[in-house]
């Protein structure tokens, strides 16, 4: 038999289950993949064919080491009643030479559990959330967020800016002078909330107004790092190592809360402290746990920044292909989370041919990973777009390359946050964001 690797084990296991127990067995039961990648077929159907199950045990032995020593089990065998939950797991599509079809999978991970959550809807009582995300750093994501806050304030709108880039905090120092940082940052929240209840007084000490914006609107900033961490810098790495730990309740009946749920609660609590027209979130570059919380947990629009390089589209292919497992069924009447994505072409040349090149690559990427196939009976309900459709997620907004923003320091050069300066570079992005907020207001 050919060498079996991680990418092959689940499809091969699913193929043998289908052949012996039928295709429906892959949905009515589930496959458990543990934190080391080992697989178990968890039998939930009491009427399953015992002869077929015995054959399955024998035939899948060749999948070692990706097979649990107990390859077929019931929840009782595993001492885990939670596996009986009919809503547990993700019904995902697998495409592999050995198997194509839907499989109900439960992942058990040491880290990355939040990536296993389906995208959540917007929260009631929370203004529109716009997440600024990127696969790689150095694309001007945080600069664009700062400019967006200035634009909102200049047009009379209030914004709350939240820096969730805990490993590389920057927005606090970008929008707030050192002596105006709030006492606490988000890093303090994640550490302290794991040990004690967080009250309104603590939240008040996480927010400060930015002095850099002009106009009728206000900008409040919740930085990743506050004055307390600045005073004790040797403790910052220790805090960071604990920020992603689950919040464990003293009540054993209450399940632990992961980073995504804690972030969702924090956003709601901070939103209640002011009358904001928008919440802007700076996400960490890459595919770590904070990225899952921002892209899947906040129910907001996700702006995916990138420059026109192969690395940009390779990185987003990993992300969007993974998110494709959560695609709604065609005809589903609920809100389609895919409509809350938008690519942003950063540092773009002032050349329409360059923009078209980016659009074409983006279209191919979305068509491969997230768009529904055209040509079916339900085409009217399908999530699909023409290559040149201006409303499509792949039709990127562009930000022009501009040396004015190469070394962005608005505290030293506040004029870069003047609308007469930033409009020439960021107009397409800002107009797009205005349309998003207008749409949200009309809902």
- Convert the pLDDT of each residue in 71-103 to its tens digit: 999 998 888 888 888 888 888 888 889 998 889
| Residue 75: both structure tokens together | 């929840």
Q: Quote the pLDDT of residue 61.
A: 85
Half-sphere exposure in the Cβ direction for 63 (13 Å, CA): 28
Q: Is 187 a domain residue? A: yes
C-alpha distances out from residue 267 to 41, 101, 327, Å: 38, 37, 25
Q: What is the pLDDT of residues 163-181, one digit of tens each?
A: 999 988 888 989 999 999 9
Please indicate whether residue 351 or residue 379 has the higher confidence score (pLDDT): 351
Domain that includes residue 272, residue range: 118-442
Q: Quote the pLDDT of residue 204.
A: 95
Q: Averaged over 218-237, what is the pLDDT?
A: 89
Q: Quote the pLDDT of residue 5.
A: 80
Please indicate whether residue 126 or residue 237 has the higher confidence score (pLDDT): 126
Q: Quote the pLDDT of residue 109.
A: 62
- Could you tell me which residues come within 8 angstroms of residue 336 by beta carbon, excluding any fewer than 6 positions away? 328, 383
SS3 231: helix
Same domain assignment for residues 100 and 143? no
Report d(CA 249, CA 251) in Å as an integer: 5
Q: Quote the pLDDT of residue 205.
A: 94
125's torsion region: left (phi>0), alpha (psi -120 to 50) or beta? left
Q: Is 176 a domain residue? A: yes
Q: Quote the pLDDT of residue 378.
A: 61
Provide the total of helices (H) and of strands (E) in the chain, helices listed first.
14, 13
Query: pLDDT band at residue 375, thresholds of 50, 70 and 90?
Result: low
pLDDT beyond 80 at 332: no
Mean pLDDT of the chain: 88
Looking up tokens 């005809």, which residue turns up? 331
Same domain assignment for residues 73 and 197? no
Q: Quote the pLDDT of residue 19.
A: 92
Same domain assignment for residues 61 and 190? no
This prediction's pTM: 0.82
Q: Averaged over 349-363, what is the pLDDT?
A: 93
Same domain assignment for residues 131 and 63? no
Could you tell me the CATH number of the domain that includes residue 279? 3.40.50.300
Same domain assignment for residues 184 and 57? no
| Residue 54: both structure tokens together | 């015995």
Last residue of a domain, one of 84, 108, 132: 108
Last residue of a domain, one of 67, 88, 108: 108
Q: Quote the pLDDT of residue 250.
A: 75
Q: Is 78 a domain residue? A: yes
Looking up tokens 């490993």, which residue turns up? 167
Q: Quote the pLDDT of residue 110.
A: 56
Residues recorded for the chain: 443
Q: Is 407 a domain residue? A: yes
Q: Quote the pLDDT of residue 415.
A: 86
Same domain assignment for residues 41 and 146? no
Shortest CA distance to 185 belongs to which of 208, 156, 216, 151?
208
Shortest CA distance to 18 belongs to which of 89, 78, 127, 96?
96
Same domain assignment for residues 302 and 379? yes
pLDDT beyond 70 at 1: no
Q: Quote the pLDDT of residue 420.
A: 86
Q: Quote the pLDDT of residue 134.
A: 93
Q: Is 319 a domain residue? A: yes
- For residue 342, the surrounding DSSP H or E stretch is strand 341-348
Same domain assignment for residues 342 and 431? yes
Q: Helix %, strand %, coil % for the chain, to 5?
A: 40, 15, 40
Contact 363, 376 (CB under 8 A): no
- For residue 442, the surrounding DSSP H or E stretch is helix 419-442
Q: Quote the pLDDT of residue 216.
A: 83
Same domain assignment for residues 217 and 91? no
Report d(CA 345, CA 340) in Å as an integer: 17
Q: Is 113 a domain residue? A: no
pLDDT beyond 90 at 41: yes
Q: What is the pLDDT of residues 410-434, one digit of tens each?
A: 888 888 888 888 999 999 999 999 9
pLDDT beyond 60 at 3: yes
| DSSP, residue by residue, 257-326 | B-HHHHHHHHHHHHHTTS--SEEEEEPPSSSSHHHHHHHHHS--EEEEEE-SSHHHHHHHHHHHHHHGGG
Same domain assignment for residues 186 and 41? no
Query: pLDDT band at residue 401, thresholds of 50, 70 and 90?
Result: very high
Q: Is 158 a domain residue? A: yes
Q: Quote the pLDDT of residue 195.
A: 73
pLDDT beyond 80 at 2: no
Same domain assignment for residues 179 and 303? yes
67's torsion region: left (phi>0), alpha (psi -120 to 50) or beta? beta
Contact 77, 105 (CB under 8 A): no
Q: What is the pLDDT of residues 269-318, one digit of tens each?
A: 999 999 999 999 999 888 887 788 899 999 999 999 999 999 999 999 99
Report d(CA 278, CA 322) in Å as an integer: 28
| Residue 374: both structure tokens together | 């055209």
Report d(CA 31, CA 66) in Å as an integer: 12
Tally the domains of the chain: 2
| Residue 90: both structure tokens together | 């993700």
| Residue 322: both structure tokens together | 């993974």
Q: Which of 43-47, 196-200, 373-377 has the lowest mean pLDDT?
A: 373-377
Report d(CA 114, CA 93) in Å as an integer: 19
Q: Is 380 a domain residue? A: yes
Last residue of a domain, one of 80, 108, 136: 108
Contact 297, 118 (CB under 8 A): no
Same domain assignment for residues 48 and 171? no
């Amino acid at each position: 038999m050919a060498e079996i690797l991680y990418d092959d084990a689940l499809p091969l296991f699913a193929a043998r289950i289908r052949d012996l127990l039928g295709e429906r067995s892959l949905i009515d039961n589930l496959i458990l993949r543990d934190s080391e990648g080992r697989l178990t077929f968890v039998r939930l159907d009491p009427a399953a064919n015992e002869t077929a199950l015995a054959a399955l045990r024998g035939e899948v032995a060749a999948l070692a080491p990706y097979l649990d020593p107990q390859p077929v089990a019931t929840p009782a065998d595993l001492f885990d009643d939670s596996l009986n939950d009919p809503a547990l797991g993700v019904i995902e599509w697998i495409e592999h030479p050995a198997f194509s079809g839907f499989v109900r999978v439960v992942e058990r991970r040491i880290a990355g559990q939040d990536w296993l959550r389906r995208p959540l809807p917007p929260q009631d009582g929370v203004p529109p959330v716009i997440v600024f995300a990127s696969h790689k750093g150095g694309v001007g994501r945080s600069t664009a967020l700062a400019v967006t806050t200035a634009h909102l304030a200049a047009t009379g709108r209030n914004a709350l800016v939240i820096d969730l880039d805990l490993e590389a905090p920057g927005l606090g120092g970008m929008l707030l002078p050192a002596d105006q940082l709030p006492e606490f940052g988000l890093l303090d929240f994640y550490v302290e909330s794991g040990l004690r209840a967080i009250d309104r007084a603590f939240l008040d000490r996480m927010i400060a107004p930015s002095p850099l914006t002009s106009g009728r609107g206000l900008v409040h900033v919740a930085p990743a790092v506050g004055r307390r961490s600045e005073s004790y810098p040797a403790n910052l790495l220790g805090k960071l190592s604990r920020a992603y730990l689950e919040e464990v309740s003293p009540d054993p009946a209450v399940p632990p809360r992961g980073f995504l749920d804690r972030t969702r609660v924090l956003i709601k609590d901070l939103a209640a402290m002011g009358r904001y027209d928008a919440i802007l979130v700076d996400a960490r570059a890459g595919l770590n746990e904070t990225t899952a919380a921002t892209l899947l947990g906040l129910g907001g629009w996700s702006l995916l920044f990138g420059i026109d390089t192969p690395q940009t589209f390779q990185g987003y292919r990993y992300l969007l292909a993974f998110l494709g497992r959560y695609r709604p069924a065609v005809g589903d009447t609920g809100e389609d989370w895919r409509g809350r994505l938008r690519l942003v072409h950063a540092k773009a040349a002032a050349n329409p041919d360059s923009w078209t090149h980016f659009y074409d690559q983006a279209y191919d990427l979305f068509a491969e990973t997230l768009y529904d196939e055209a040509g079916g009976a339900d085409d009217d309900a399908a999530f699909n777009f023409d290559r040149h459709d201006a409303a499509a997620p792949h039709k990127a907004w562009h930000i022009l390359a501009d040396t004015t923003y190469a070394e962005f320091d608005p505290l030293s050069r506040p004029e870069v946050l003047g609308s007469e300066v930033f409009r020439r570079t960021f107009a397409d992005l800002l107009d797009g964001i205005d349309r998003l907020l207008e749409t949200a207001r009309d809902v």
